[in-house]
Chains A and B, each alone.
Chain A
Amino acid sequence: MKEKEATVDYKEHQLVLYVEKKDGSYGPVRTGSYITKNYIDDFWYKRNNMEVEYGEKIRAGEISPIAYYMILEELTPSELAARVGISARKVKRHLMPRHFGTLTLDELMRYCGVFNIPLPNMFQEIVTDKKNVKIGMEKTDNPFFSVLRIRAARK
């Protein structure tokens, strides 16, 4: 690949490609990511649709929050089981709302660790119809307790 074909002006996502340089030599060049620059909107569009679709399924009681996060983070039951440290059979049960209630707090915390989410996110969805607020969940030293901070965004 010629150097000029590789060059993409996109500072938000930089990477290194190996190219044929102007003098005919081969070597690395730091450039922007072509796919992120041109297709990131499509990625977020699909991701958002998926969040809406599976969010509705949780609310309708068709799936558990564990199924929701597992699908969003592109894990399989067997991979998730290995990460949480329980059997795949047990994970498959936890994907169903009726078995979600049988989870122990310890298991739930381990799921949260894998998904990198605070514990309350397993039980709630935070929505707002205001555009000028910023909502953030903050961890505390107590693993069972977090702070939900709502800030007015700067105008």
Chain B
Amino acid sequence: MKGRTFKHAMAAHCESGTLTALLNHAGLKISEPMVFGISGGIFFGYFESKKFPFPTFVVRSRPGQIRTALARRIGVKFAERRFRNPADGEKELDRLLSLQIPAACQTDFFYMNYLPGHVRVHINVHFVVVVEKRGEAYIISDCYSPELASLNRDSLMKARFAGGSFAPKGFLFYPVSVPEAIDFRKAVWKGIRSASFYMVKLPMPFLGVKGIRMFAQKVVDWPRLARDTEHLSHEIMKINIFLEDQGTGGAGFRFMYATFLREASELLNDRDLLEMSKRIMEIGDRWREISLFAARIGKRRDLGPDRLRELSGLIHERADAEEIFFKELLAMSKKKK
């Protein structure tokens, strides 16, 4: 892997895309949906916290979990480091680049100034691959950028050592060994089992399918939490961004998961998985309707109680559909593991 030219490619999601690119660079041919599916990345969580200015939701597992679960299930080993001292973090990255080893870094998305201003927000869980150092600038392979990008040293340092929730602390990683033979059957079913378990078996009311229901119940109360109509419109339209634009591959990762199940069905020659992939694709289509509906009512400022109840109803329907889907998938994973 050392010395080979790094191939930049866009991907749907920064963490799964970064991992895919690094593994491909290391000689392991694996697709982004496989990385995402094997790691059990699909999820749902609804959060209200002092750390967020407004209630929010996530559609994927905890940041970093895609890497750790994937490593465990396919046997890839990553070198990982965090730094107390930013100077040490910078030195280590420069050392790796001087050895022509591309490394993934955890960053605050806000400082990725090669991306359009309207998408950049403070979130400490953006992953990029740093490919090269040219003078005072770093060459970045960011899954959300069509081309390799250049980022100045100051911005990269700020991004790598930003404080707050999920502070990166200069975290970087790169693969050090890839197994010669991987038991994909076992890895796929483990990934499916864990994702299904987290979607339907967690007791917390804000996680998994229960989290989708909580989102449906709470969204009708959002007008009470918003500063004014324009703020409410912004937050409602963010439903679309979280589901479609913020690195999900569409429909809150449901389309990517469908692609994973389709690929797994071909790999394992399993007709049931093919059927399930079609079903989650349909579920995703309905999620996309929700995101388009949210964008429409947000722009029109059509945010009265009836419209929000309609939105809530659509989200409840998704909860019902996903509960049935993931229960069946969990049962299937127990039978076929």
Quick check: A113 and B158 within 8 Å, CB to CB?
A: yes
Quick check: A26 and B262 within 8 Å, CB to CB?
A: yes
Task: Indicate the size class of the contact surface on chain A.
Answer: 35 or more
Of residues 1 through 34 on chain A, the ones whose CB sits less than 8 Å from some CB of chain B are 1, 6, 12-20, 25-28, 30, 33-34
Quick check: A35 and B245 within 8 Å, CB to CB?
A: yes
Given contacts A1-B288, A113-B158, contact A33 B245 (CB under 8 A): yes
For B, the interface residue count at a CB cutoff of 8 angstroms equals: 53
The minimal Cβ–Cβ distance linking B85 to chain A, given in whole angstroms, is 15
- In the assembly, what is the distance between CA of A57 and CA of B180, in Å? 63
Quick check: B163 and A18 within 8 Å, CB to CB?
A: no
Given contacts A42-B299, A76-B53, contact A20 B245 (CB under 8 A): no
Quick check: B51 and A78 within 8 Å, CB to CB?
A: yes
Quick check: A35 and B237 within 8 Å, CB to CB?
A: yes
Interface residue from A12, A42, A80, A114 paired with B116 (Cβ < 8 Å): A12
The minimal Cβ–Cβ distance linking A81 to chain B, given in whole angstroms, is 9
Given contacts A1-B284, A30-B10, A75-B53, contact A17 B164 (CB under 8 A): no
Which residues from B are CB-within-8-Å of A80?
A: 164
Which residues from B are CB-within-8-Å of A35?
A: 237, 240-241, 244-245, 295
Quick check: A79 and B164 within 8 Å, CB to CB?
A: yes
- In the assembly, what is the distance between CA of A49 and CA of B53, in Å? 19
Given contacts A26-B259, A73-B122, A76-B52, contact A16 B10 (CB under 8 A): yes
Given contacts A26-B281, A28-B12, contact A18 B258 (CB under 8 A): yes
Of residues 112 through 140 on chain B, the ones whose CB sits less than 8 Å from some CB of chain A are 116, 118-119, 121-122
> Which of A59-67, A82-90, A96-104, A126-134 interfaces with chain B?
A82-90
Which residues from B are CB-within-8-Å of A142?
A: none
Interface residue from A1, A14, A19 paired with B10 (Cβ < 8 Å): A14
3 closest residue pairs by CB, A with B: A18-B255, A26-B259, A83-B163
10 example contacts (A-B, Cβ-Cβ < 8 A) are as follows A1-B285, A14-B10, A15-B245, A16-B12, A18-B33, A18-B250, A26-B263, A35-B295, A39-B237, A50-B230
Known pairs A1-B288, A39-B298, A73-B122 / 12 extra A-B pairs, C-beta < 8 Å: A15-B245, A18-B249, A28-B11, A28-B12, A35-B237, A35-B245, A36-B119, A75-B53, A76-B50, A82-B163, A116-B158, A139-B154
